[in-house]
Chains A and B, each alone.
Chain A
Amino acid sequence: MASSIRVRATSNGDITEVQALIQHPMDTGLVKDPKGELIPAHYIQQLKFEWNGKDVFVADWGTAVSKDPYVKFSFKGAKKGDELKISWTDNKGGSDTTTAKIA
């Protein structure tokens, strides 16, 4: 199965810019389906970016993060070709992990 995580990490001198797009419904648990039944909450709670054995960026998310979440940040120290590990876990115990090469 294709990964739910799409990452672009580009190095520009000492700074690496990371953009990530994740496929996830991010259901709030407050919305009803067409039959009038509540769609249970299903959302990513934690998303981690790990480089060189260290968490460079950790996102804690609630239900107010949009469907198919997007996030962008930058960090210092990495070089081209380094690996960035990205992983998420959701409130139903689901998870996914991928690694991206910094370009």
Chain B
Amino acid sequence: MTTTTGPVATRRLILQGAASVALLGLGNLPFTATSARAAANDKYPEEAFKQKNEADAIKALYGKTAEPSDKVKLDAPEIAENGGVVPVSVTTTLDKVSSISFLVAENPYALAASYKIAEGTIPAIANRLKMAKSTKLVAIVEADGKLYSATKEVKVTVGGCGG
């Protein structure tokens, strides 16, 4: 028995240590930590969808900033006649993609859609978005814990907010 108590006790100590470090970490970063966790688990990221501009929405969703990458390919029409239905798609050659999001900068709320990509799911998505007026469109890809982006200008002839 004496041979086993040694390693077991050490492991327990290490685990306790790790747990307290984790708790301290969360306490220090109340806002960013909660939003990063919201993006990581299954919860609907309510806060991120309430942000009016695109930088705040990215921060609320991921808790970090993105860098432009030519490995993210964003496809959208240059001119959208009907802003209510604009086909938008994104593909990427990046590895370990865990999430893809679309933001429409000029919309009342910038974040349009955010997708969680499981392992084995191919990082290529097509969907249709509303655009209030001509706008910058941003795609964010989270790969291996980092954020990459691509942007495109879309000219909207008739805005997608009409009644």
Contact = CB atoms under 8 A, between A and B. Distances in A.
A51 to B, nearest CB: 9
A65 B120 contact: no
A73 B117 CA distance: 10
Contacts of B122: 15, 73-76
A31 to B, nearest CB: 4
A99 interface: no
A31 B116 contact: no
Contacts of B127: 59, 65, 69-72
B42 A55 contact: yes
Interface in A3-17: 15
B2 interface: no
A60 B126 CA distance: 14
A65 B42 contact: no
Contacts of A56: 118, 120-121
Contact of A54 (B104, B118, B130): B118
B128 interface: yes
Contacts of A34: 163
B26 interface: no
A15 B120 CA distance: 9
Interface string B108-148: 11011111111011101111111100000000000000000
Given A72-B127, A73-B124, A64 B104 contact: yes
Nearest to B87: A70
B84 to A, nearest CB: 6
Contact of B109 (A31, A62, A77): A62
Given A55-B116, A73-B121, A60 B130 contact: no
